[in-house]
Amino acid sequence: MDISILLSLQSFRNGAGACLTDFLDQMTFFGENSFIAIALALLYWCVNKELGVYLLMGYCGNRFVNSLLKVTFCVYRPWIRSAAIIPYADAQASATGYSFPSGHTANATTVYGGSALRREFPRMLRVLFFVIVALVALSRMFLGVHTPQDVLVSFGVGIAVMWGVLKLTQWLQRRPEKDVTVAVIAVALFILLGLYAAFKSYPEDYDSQGKLIVDGAKMANDTFKGVGWGLAFFLGWALERRFVRFSTEIAWTQKIARCVTGALGYYAIVLILLPILKSAVPGYWGTILTCFIQMFYVTYLFPASLKYWEKPNATGR
**Read out DSSP for 245-273?**
-B-S-S-HHHHHHHHHHHHHHHHHIIIII
* pLDDT of amino acid 183: 98
What's at 187, amino acid-wise? V
Specify the 3-state DSSP secondary structure of 206. strand
Contact indicator for 118, 42 with CB cutoff of 8 Å: no
* pLDDT of amino acid 311: 65
- State which residues form the domain around 150: 2-6+14-314
Q: Is 129 exposed, middle or buried (0-12, 13-18, 19+ CB in 10 A)?
A: buried
What is the per-residue burial (b if ≥16 Cβ within 10 Å, else e) of 215-242? ebeebbbbbbbbbbbbbbbbbbbbbbbe
Helix H or strand E encompassing 167: helix 148-174
Q: CA–CA separation, 164 vs 247, rounded Å?
A: 25
Q: CA–CA separation, 216 vs 197, rounded Å?
A: 10
- Give the contacts of 196 (CB within 8 A, at least 6 positions apart): 68, 71
- Positive or negative, the CA dihedral 261, 266, 272, 277 is positive
* pLDDT of amino acid 70: 95
* pLDDT of amino acid 94: 78
Other CB atoms within 10 A of residue 253 CB: 8
Q: Which of 159, 197, 177, 150 is CA-nearest to residue 241?
A: 177
* pLDDT of amino acid 314: 44
Q: CA–CA separation, 34 vs 31, rounded Å?
A: 9
The gap from C-alpha 301 to its chain's centroid, in whole angstroms, comes to 20
DSSP 70-138: HHHH-PPPHHHH-TT----HHHHHT--S-SSS-HHHHHHIIIIIHHHT-TTS-HHHHHHHHHHHHHHHH
Q: pLDDT by residue for the chain (317 residues), tens digit each?
A: 789 999 999 999 988 778 899 999 999 999 999 999 999 999 999 999 999 999 999 999 999 999 999 999 999 999 999 989 999 888 888 788 899 999 999 999 999 999 999 988 999 999 999 999 999 999 999 999 999 999 999 999 999 999 999 999 999 999 999 999 999 999 999 999 999 999 999 988 887 788 888 888 888 899 999 999 999 999 999 999 999 999 999 999 999 999 999 999 999 999 999 999 999 998 999 999 999 999 999 999 999 999 888 866 444 44
Q: Which of 258, 264, 238, 262 is CA-nearest to residue 315?
A: 258
* pLDDT of amino acid 317: 40
Read off the pTM.
0.93
* pLDDT of amino acid 41: 97
Contact indicator for 233, 295 with CB cutoff of 8 Å: yes
* pLDDT of amino acid 91: 83
* pLDDT of amino acid 47: 96
The number of folded domains in the chain is 1
Backbone angles phi, psi at 146, to 5 degrees: -145, 155
- Give the contacts of 82 (CB within 8 A, at least 6 positions apart): 3, 7
Please provide the size of the chain in residues: 317
Other CB atoms within 10 A of residue 103 CB: 28
Contact indicator for 3, 82 with CB cutoff of 8 Å: yes
* pLDDT of amino acid 315: 43
What's at 274, amino acid-wise? L
